[in-house]
Chain A
Amino acid sequence: MNRTVLDLWVGVFVAVGVAAVLFLALKVGNLASANIGETYRLQANFDNIGGLKPRAPVKSSGVVVGRVTEITFDPNLYVAVVKMDVDKRYSFPRDTFATILTSGLLGEQYIGFEVGGDTEMLQAGATITKTQSAVVLEKLISQFMFNKAAESPTAPEQ
């Protein structure tokens, strides 16, 4: 069996093809930055998660520190249970506030951590007790309308 010119071309083809997959994985996808490495599991209960999805980022001060892994419904407490994997390098005080926020007006939803002042840190598997639900636009508008309606009779009629 001898090497042929054909082999060279096929070699070039395969090399370029594999390079394309690598390009897609590293430059287009986020394989390099996706693995946060070692993580620990935290949990938080929300009254309303809005449009939060699994794999949504967990941010603190705008920096991605983890990802949402699982969202379930607790049939006893009637709340949504959100489980998330947080980077081991970061630990947060026990009174950290978990809020569901929206990036931009129409952007995706994520969990924001607002750090409290407690000296004890959240351990792996701990549940964050201080949470704030997603803002539901309809509720906000109806509240606003209600307030307006309540105001109007006090205004003097002319």
Chain B
Amino acid sequence: MIARVFRAMGARTVDGIWRLGFATRFFFAILLRSGTSFARFQLTIREVFSTGVLSLIIILVSGFFVGLVLGLQGYETLQRYGSSEALGILVALSLVRELGPVVAGLLFASRAGSALTAEIGLMKTTEQLKAMDMMAVDPIARVVAPRFWGGVISMPLLAALFSTMGVFGAWFIGVVFIGVDDGAFWSQMQASVDFRYDIVNGVIKSVVFGFAVALIAVFEGYDSAPTAEGVSRAITRTVVNSALAILALDFVLTSFMFRGNG
């Protein structure tokens, strides 16, 4: 009994490390065979459409609502200290530094990442990838790489849109409804949000998350067991692993970028 438990644990560990190694090799294979996705940019454009443009609605609406909530909660707390004008700073910093990239990344993983996995997994199940191989079309260059780059391109743009909508949402609830001073809201925000320190770091975060989510999504699809159950498991793994990767990377990046000396 105990031996079986240990054997199962060992098997899972070895399998995990094996997959990690394969994923790393897969990542370099994508990078090496990315020529097609830029030479025939139309392929990548189509993926930007399906991962980026089709995610717009959920990103914009979620961003707006997150901004509304931040505005309300922030005002509630700040007004106790008589500094409700600092609402702009609070909202802008938390969105640009953290919430924008992270929440947009989580939404992106569940909206676009899962779709990528399902698409590639189904192509594998129906042996379309093998058929391409037979016709001397490299499936990684033709199918995987454009989807990967499409995700990488979309993610930073979506995160920026999320932050923008969030700031607008907070402005809407704070200035229009509650009556925080409009000028103070913007000027305090502008005085304490630094371009290089806050915004560029936020964009770097969203680019890193884009790479992580896109890689996990295409890898899980490519690595899925070619059955209906295998594809559904791969999709679940995409969402779970992407969320874990985003949160873990966020901690690492934050500890590098913001050391509390600003």
Contacts and interface: CB of A to CB of B under 8 A. Distances in A.
Given A30-B190, A54-B261, A55-B262, A20 B199 contact: no
A7 interface: yes
Contacts of A13: 48-49, 52-53, 56, 154, 157
A41 interface: no
B195 A10 contact: no
A6 B199 contact: no
B84 interface: no
B167 interface: yes
B189 A28 contact: yes
Interface string A101-131: 0000010000000000000000000000000
Interface string A1-31: 1000011011011101110110111011111
Contact of A20 (B154, B161, B189, B197): B161
Interface string B49-83: 10011001000000000000000000000000100
Contact of A17 (B158, B167, B199): B158
Q: Interface majority SS on A: helix, strand, loop or mixed?
A: helix
Contacts of A1: 42
Contact of A6 (B46, B92, B191, B202): B46
Contact of A24 (B42, B53, B96): B96
Contacts of B197: 55
**Main secondary structure on B side of the interface with A:** helix
Interface residues of B, number: 34
B199 to A, nearest CB: 5
B160 interface: yes
A26 to B, nearest CB: 9
A34 interface: yes
Given A29-B199, A53-B262, A24 B164 contact: yes
A31 B195 contact: yes
Contacts of B194: 29-30, 34, 55
A10 B46 CA distance: 8
B157 A25 contact: no
18 contacts: A6-B49, A13-B157, A17-B52, A17-B157, A17-B158, A21-B156, A21-B160, A24-B160, A24-B163, A24-B202, A27-B186, A28-B199, A29-B96, A30-B190, A30-B194, A34-B195, A54-B261, A55-B194
